């Protein structure tokens, strides 16, 4: 038993070390934005604390198995009947309670941080982007810039982006691991996600929620750039891209995969997001030309 036990312990420590040493390269632990950083810090803190608990349990288990195994005791040893001691039980309850209290405060704090616009960029107004999914694509509408892109995002770095998420079909989940995330996009309501990039660069994003046969390839890229470059891009799009017509948008909604594309104008004008509708209306689904009542807007 002794050898086996040591082997197990060794395996766990090796794995633990591997896990921690590999951390810096893992997407979630390599944040490029304030929200992802909150989440990465929480994760590192949790791995350390939880690792400590696992090691404690392993040590107690190891000691017990080593000290009280039958082969170490005389044949006529009769284990006593033990009912428990108030102090031991108080410790067993007390320590977990303290850990949970600590984590509860931390959890509340982090929740409010990731749910609000990052304080670092509070001086500038958030850029609003509507991100809607359809089987199996992402449509990004920039109402201020009057631009719509498919399957790629250009964003200014060092500015908060307020994503408004909804779906033309199954529930999807908008996720950019290095910037933070994720949040569901649904057909009957709009959810909000605040993200920002601290640096310029390209990050990958995807729909993380299973939404049918094409989910695996339901990905997009996010490129963050300086304000000037972003404005240049906006101007370029207005100069070169085709306008997004209702027919074109219906075509884009057809199930399947598409590459990237860019349009002037947004679909919000003829197919608005399901904001404040309390589910009375849903966004139009491919092929359906229902007469819907948008009077609640």
Running DSSP on this structure, what letter comes out for residue 151?
S
Q: Which tokens hold the place of 260?
A: 């990237």
Interhelix angle 86-115/34-67, rounded to 10 degrees, is 160
173 scored as a contact of other proteins (CB under 8 A):
yes
118 scored as a contact of other proteins (CB under 8 A):
no
Tell me how far, at minimum, the Cβ of 74 lies from other proteins, in Å.
10
Distance CA 30, CA 3 (A): 38
Among 37, 162, 188, 200, interactor with other proteins by CB under 8 A: 188
119 scored as a contact of other proteins (CB under 8 A):
no
Ranges within 14-33 binding other proteins (CB under 8 A): 15, 19, 22-23, 25-29
Among 201, 243, 256, 279, interactor with other proteins by CB under 8 A: 279
Among 48, 107, 231, 260, interactor with other proteins by CB under 8 A: 107
3 scored as a contact of other proteins (CB under 8 A):
no
Running DSSP on this structure, what letter comes out for residue 241?
P
42 scored as a contact of other proteins (CB under 8 A):
yes
Tell me how far, at minimum, the Cβ of 77 lies from other proteins, in Å.
6
Count the residues in the chain. Answer: 297
Among 285, 294, 296, 297, interactor with other proteins by CB under 8 A: 285
Q: Are strands 219-225 and 201-207 parallel, antiparallel or unpaired?
A: antiparallel
175 scored as a contact of other proteins (CB under 8 A):
yes
Ranges within 128-167 binding other proteins (CB under 8 A): 135, 165
232-269 per-residue burial string, b: 16 or more CB within 10 A, e: under 16: ebbeebeeebeebeeebbbebbeeeeeeebbbbbbbbe
Distance CA 204, CA 180 (A): 11
Ranges within 69-98 binding other proteins (CB under 8 A): 69-70, 73, 77-84, 88-89, 92-93, 95-97
Interhelix angle 2-22/34-67, rounded to 10 degrees, is 170
Identity of the residue, 91 or 199, whose beta carbon is nearer to other proteins in the bound complex: 91
Among 159, 194, 206, 267, interactor with other proteins by CB under 8 A: 206
Across-strand partners of 152? 221
């Amino acid at each position: 038993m002794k050898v086996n036990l040591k082997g197990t312990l060794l395996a766990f420590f090796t794995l633990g070390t591997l896990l921690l040493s590999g951390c810096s390269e893992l997407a979630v632990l390599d944040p490029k934005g304030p929200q992802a950083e909150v989440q990465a810090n929480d994760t590192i803190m949790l791995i350390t604390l939880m690792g400590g608990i696992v090691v404690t349990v392993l040590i107690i288990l190891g000691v017990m198995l080593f000290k009280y195994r039958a082969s170490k005791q005389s044949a006529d040893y009769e284990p006593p009947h033990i009912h428990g001691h108030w102090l031991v039980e108080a410790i067993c309850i007390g320590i977990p309670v303290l850990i949970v209290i600590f984590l509860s405060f931390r959890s509340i704090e982090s929740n409010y941080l990731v749910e609000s616009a990052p304080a670092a960029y509070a001086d500038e107004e958030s850029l609003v982007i509507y991100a809607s999914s359809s089987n199996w694509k992402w449509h990004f509408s920039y109402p201020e810039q009057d631009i719509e892109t498919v399957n790629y995002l250009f964003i200014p770095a060092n500015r908060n982006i307020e994503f408004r998420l909804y779906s033309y079909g199954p529930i999807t989940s908008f996720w950019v691991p290095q910037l933070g995330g994720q949040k569901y996009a649904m057909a009957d309501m709009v959810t909000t996600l605040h993200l920002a990039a601290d640096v310029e660069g390209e990050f990958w994003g995807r729909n993380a929620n299973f939404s049918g046969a094409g989910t695996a390839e339901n990905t997009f890229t996010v490129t963050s750039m300086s304000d000037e470059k972003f404005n240049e891009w906006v101007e370029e799009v207005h100069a070169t891209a085709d306008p997004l017509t209702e027919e074109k948008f219906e075509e884009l909604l057809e199930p399947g995969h598409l590459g990237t594309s860019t349009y002037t104008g947004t679909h919000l004008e003829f197919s608005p997001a399901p904001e404040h509708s309390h589910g009375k209306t849903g966004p139009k689904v491919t092929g359906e030309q229902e007469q819907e009542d948008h009077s609640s807007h």
